[in-house]
Every structure is written in structure tokens, then in C-alpha cells.
Amino acid sequence: MSGPRDIPHYINGQHVSGASGRHGDVFDPNTGAVQARVGLASADELGRAVEAAKAAQPAWGATNPQRRARVMFRFKELIERDMDDLAWLLATEHGKVVADAKGDIQRGLEVIEFACGIPHLLKGEYTEGAGPGIDVYSMRQPLGVVAGITPFNFPAMIPMWMFGVAIACGNAFILKPSERDPSVPVRLAELMTEAGLPDGVLNVVHGDKEAVDAILHHPDIKAVSFVGSSDIAQYVYVTGAQNGKRVQAMGGAKNHAVILPDADLDQVVRDLIGSAYGSAGERCMALPVAVPVGDKTADELIERLIPEIEKLVPGVSTDPDAVYGPVVTAAHKARVEGYIQMGVDEGAELIIDGRGFTLQGHEDGFFVGPSLFDKVRADMRSYQEEIFGPVLQIVRAKDLEEAARLPSEHPYGNGVAIFTRSGLAAREFASKVNVGMVGVNVPIPVPVAYHTFGGWKRSAFGDTNQHGMEGVRFFTKIKTVTQRWPTGEVSDQAFVIPTMG
């Protein structure tokens, strides 16, 4: 009987077996069984990918933007052609249900669509006659070799957020995806090659901290984009910056839903169910905290939530009737259940306990049932930290001012939502809340691809956001040219600093 399959690196347009001698297990989260092995790259293996990228980038960067856009258009067509297969592959490694996996892919594809407009996005500025016979213009040029380090929870979307913009701008890209669900990133690279991307422009190197450190210290990698936990995001930001790299590092989240007494509670319940428990809570833009204003609002909200939550039964990720699937690993299941116990120990009221859930025929799968807490306080560690599982915490507030303070003063500042019929309250809240992305009657306020994604405080390190024009700025550098053509007149001001007066 054959053992687990091996998942290769993808370097210079070729599958490359891991040579470090170190491997990681890739589980089927539905059964708990090891389904594959992935090589964990050494610094030398990472270096070979960088050499391939460095060799390929000059010609790719010199390719005109319209031709680069055509590769993106073709890649989009291939993703749409293979959507079902990609979603199935993603679901069987990550554990999110197939419909959610398609959403993961589609949100990444929207950034590819944005990148198809790169000829327009790269246009610089021009001033004619800035001085006597002098014109000034700017151009955006690629950085060279850049890298992305992506998390397990969105193995399609976040890689496409990064490499789509970076490659369209003329860079070569090194992708280090999560070693927990690495197959889809490799498949994306294969499809980029099929779309006409030259070998070496996109490389996928699997690994753990050794590969991350190799990226952060390699002198030929000019920029690093990261999404993951906040502690690692801070480490990536500091280490990369110390090594002279441009870095954007997105961290964790603890997003709040503020619910005013005038909110449409039918909508709120539907939105909370989807955003708190969808994808087993493994989203950085999930809503794991609900903040109803006033005890009457809180009591009615909980009364409506309980029967809806009790209907939620986790299922096999490839089951079309499953509302959500397992979490990604046994260790993550233990972590989530540990936070539930922490909440109990801290004095929160556990209304629905999702621990101990098993699925018949899949008793070794990494399933966690939905949990609901009431009377959570802001000083509780289980509130302060990111649980990243199917757990909804209710924190009661007496008024909007107190409700707004909770997300504003929380260490994380990724996203927040307010549910209300009051335009004035929503406008004031959106203007003043100390959080990077705000939804008004929108539970998961992930911006569309031509805007930008990014949080505040410990949710993001660096000065630029993901995708949109922020992404174009991150993956390019500005060059400004001041030019004058000789008229035959000789100036006697050669030793005077030039001015435009």
C-alpha cells in the first residue's frame, strides 16, 4: 500500500522534490489521517528559488504592462475553468466546505482581475514646462525579487492577493505558503505557467521558520508581504526591516459587531451565524465578538441566536450540506477548546458548549462544535486574544460610547461592524472607531479588490495595505526624471542649485 503523496516545491517552472531531509505532515482534517508530506526547505533550497527568480525578473520587468496583463487575463480564465477541482483540493486540505473554498478562490481572483488593469495602474505623472524648457515625469518600476508568506486559512485568496499585483508590476515572486495546506498554491503556480508566465517568475517554496528566516535575510529579496499571527507578523516586520527590506505584515484580529437597539435583529442573527461560525471561525475577518447595546437588546439577541446555533452541525468539508467543516489540525482543535475552558474559568457564561463534538464515521476528524458565551468582560484573556475557532462571545455594553470603546481599545484593530438603522450613529461610529476596516450592516467588511485591505494596531505592521493601489505602491518604486533639451544657449548658472522659478 502506498504511503502519503509528496508535495513538491515549484521552482523555475518545475516540480522540485524537497532535499533538506525535513518534512511536514499534511492532514485530512475530516479524518485526522496524514494524506501527504511536504518538504520543508533549507536556506539553500530557498536560495535556488531566488536565483531562478533573479534570472527571470529582468526580462519579465522589461515586458510591457499590456503583455503582462494578458498573462493575468489568461490565468483568470484557467482559474474559472478549474474552479471545481481547486475548491475540492482546498476543502480536503484546509477543511472549509467546498462552497466556502470557492469563495476563497473567487476573492483572490478579484485581485487578479484588478491586476489585469496594470497598464493603467502603472501610469506615472507628467508636468510639461516645470521650468524654462524643463519637463518632469515619474515612472513606477518593479523592485526585482519579492516574496510572500501566507497563512493556512486562505490558501488561494491571500497568495493571489500578493503575487497577482507583484507579478503584474514586473516583479518575480517567491511564495512561501502554509505547510498545513500547500497543494493549492502549487496548483496556482502551475496555472500561471500554463497562462504564459515565464519560468522562474513565480516560485513556490514550502517550509517552516527556517524558510521564513531565509527569506527575511536573503539580500536579493527586496520586499516581503506577510499574513499570519500578530507575534510572527511583528517578527517578520522587524527582521525584514533590519535587513533593509520593504515589509507589510498583517497580523491577527478580534473583530467586534456592535448592535444598536434599532438594528434589524433578523439580519444581525443571520450575519452573526455566518461570520462567527463560517469556515469554523478560521477567518481573520470573522466576527467572534458581539456587543449588544443594552440588556434588552442582548437578551433578545441571545434568545434568537440559541436555536439557530443549535441547528449548526459541522460536517465533512466535501459534503454539500455541511454548514462548516473541521478546523485545520488536531493542535488547533485543542487550542480552540482550551480557550473555551479559559472562558469558563474566567467566569464567562457558557451557553452552548461545542467541545467534545464528534462526527459519526469521522471520530478522529478535527471537528469543533459551535460555542456561545455571554457576559464576557473586557479584562478576560479569552476576550483579549484571538481564538480563531467557532466561538462567539457576547460582551454587553450600556450605550454606544461604551460599545465603541471596546474595539477602539482592543489590542487588535482589523475589522469592526455596526448594525443600526441610524445613519448618524453609523457615520459617527465609522469616523471615530480606532479600527482599520468598518462595516455598516455588513458583517465581514473585506474591501473589494480595487480598494485596500489592512488593519490597525497589532493587526498590521508596516505602512501599506494589501492589494488595490496600496499594493501597486508596495511592489513598485518611484523614479522621477527632470529633463531639459539643449536650445543652444549657454547658462552661466552652472554652480547654482537649479530652481523652477
Helix or strand (DSSP H, E) at 456: strand 456-457
> What is the sign of the dihedral through the CA atoms of 337, 341, 343 and 348?
positive
3-state class (DSSP) for residue 422 = coil
Q: Cβ distance 383 to 317 under 8 Å?
A: no
Greatest extent of the chain over all pairs of C-alpha atoms, in Å? 90
As given in the structure block, the three cell numbers for residue 55 are 534570472
> Beta strands 221-227 and 172-176: pairing type?
unpaired
Instruction: Establish whether 284 is a catalytic residue.
Output: yes
Alpha-carbon dihedral of residues 307, 310, 315, 318, nearest 10 degrees? 20
* 375 torsion bin: left (phi>0), alpha (psi -120 to 50), beta (else): left
For 261, other C-beta atoms within 10 Å of its C-beta total 15
As given in the structure block, the three cell numbers for residue 485 are 533639451
Which H, E and C letters describe 262-330, residue by residue?
CCCHHHHHHHHHHHHHHHHHCCCCCCCEEEEECHHHHHHHHHHHHHHHHCCCCCCCCCCCCCCCCCCCH
Quote the CA–CA distance of 105 and 114 in Å, as a whole number: 14
> What is the sign of the dihedral through the CA atoms of 376, 377, 378 and 380?
negative
Which one of the listed residues 168, 284, 392, 426 is annotated catalytic? 284
Instruction: Identify residue 29 by its one-letter amino acid code.
Output: P
Q: Cβ distance 325 to 99 under 8 Å?
A: no
Quote the CA–CA distance of 268 and 98 in Å, as a whole number: 25
Quote the CA–CA distance of 442 and 287 in Å, as a whole number: 11
**Residues in a beta bridge with 227:** 250
As given in the structure block, the three cell numbers for residue 400 are 454606544
As given in the structure block, the three cell numbers for residue 229 are 499571527
- Residues annotated catalytic, as ranges: 284
